[in-house]
Amino acid sequence: MKKALLFVLAALMALSAGGCASAASGTAAIEKAKILKVGVKEDVPGFGLLNSSTGAYEGLEIDLARLVAKEILGDENAVSFQPVTAKTRGPLLDNGDIDMVIATFTITEERKLTYNFSTPYYTDSVGLLVKKDSGIASLADLSGKTIGVAQSATSKDAIQQAADEAGIGIQFSEFASYPEIKAALDSGRVDVFSVDGAILNGYVDETSVILPDRFSPQEYGIATKLQNTELAAKVDEMIQKWLADGTIAALSEKHIKL
């Protein structure tokens, strides 16, 4: 009798230990690794930017990652940054290369089926970057034009919807990265570069201008694996706390120059 009970206990312990190693293990995997691996942008000023002169990452999303590391591991430096793009951030999270994405990742109903998102920490909107000499001043001038957008980004749907509402016919050309869209804009292969205003800020130069038009609010959330609901709940609790106590407002003020 006693032996049977011990066996059941041992089996239960083995089961829960196995559970700890799985994806649905809260912060156990991060604590074991002693480092928080975060996917961030490297080309978005104010959010996630790899400063070429210091070699360090900086921005609101970088500071948020440090705060999350401090909450989970007690050390704001226990974080490793992995540069991601709109195309790579999901797969890197799926295969466990990173623990979370803090990289201008817009919360959408469709994406919520694949990832857990925190409460939004920032709201941006989609903008249009054109060459100064293009003669394009607003959405109304886009009839017949080609819009360069990134693969896996929300931009195409946002601009298509705005163009449909305005009764304007446009076409799209899709690219894997933002430097490629900027090069296409410069060489005339696309007429417009469209993505969130925050991201366009990293590409505007003396030959180009961001138009005043803005489309589709883009709410940024911290994304974690769908199965790890425990980690998602913890991260969401942190964001809610930092929204309520003014931490996020102060960091936005520090980093984001509008």
Residues forming the site for ligand GLU (CB under 6 A):
86, 104-106, 150, 153-155, 195-196, 199, 218
Instruction: Report the residue number, 73 or 185, with the smaller CB distance to ligand GLU.
Output: 185
Instruction: Report the residue number, 72 or 182, with the smaller CB distance to ligand GLU.
Output: 182
Residue identified by tokens 């009970």 is 5
Question: At its nearest, how many Å lie between ligand GLU and the CB of residue 47?
Answer: 9
Instruction: Report the residue number, 218 or 228, with the smaller CB distance to ligand GLU.
Output: 218
Alpha-carbon distance of 235 to 223, in angstroms, equals: 9
Question: At its nearest, how many Å lie between ligand GLU and the CB of residue 153?
Answer: 4
Question: At its nearest, how many Å lie between ligand GLU and the CB of residue 122?
Answer: 10
Question: At its nearest, how many Å lie between ligand GLU and the CB of residue 173?
Answer: 16
Residue 119 vs residues 2, 130, 136, 219: alpha-carbon distances, Å: 49, 33, 36, 9
Instruction: Report the residue number, 70 or 214, with the smaller CB distance to ligand GLU.
Output: 214
Question: At its nearest, how many Å lie between ligand GLU and the CB of residue 121?
Answer: 13
Instruction: Report the residue number, 86 or 159, with the smaller CB distance to ligand GLU.
Output: 86
**8 Å CB contact between 114 and 50:** no
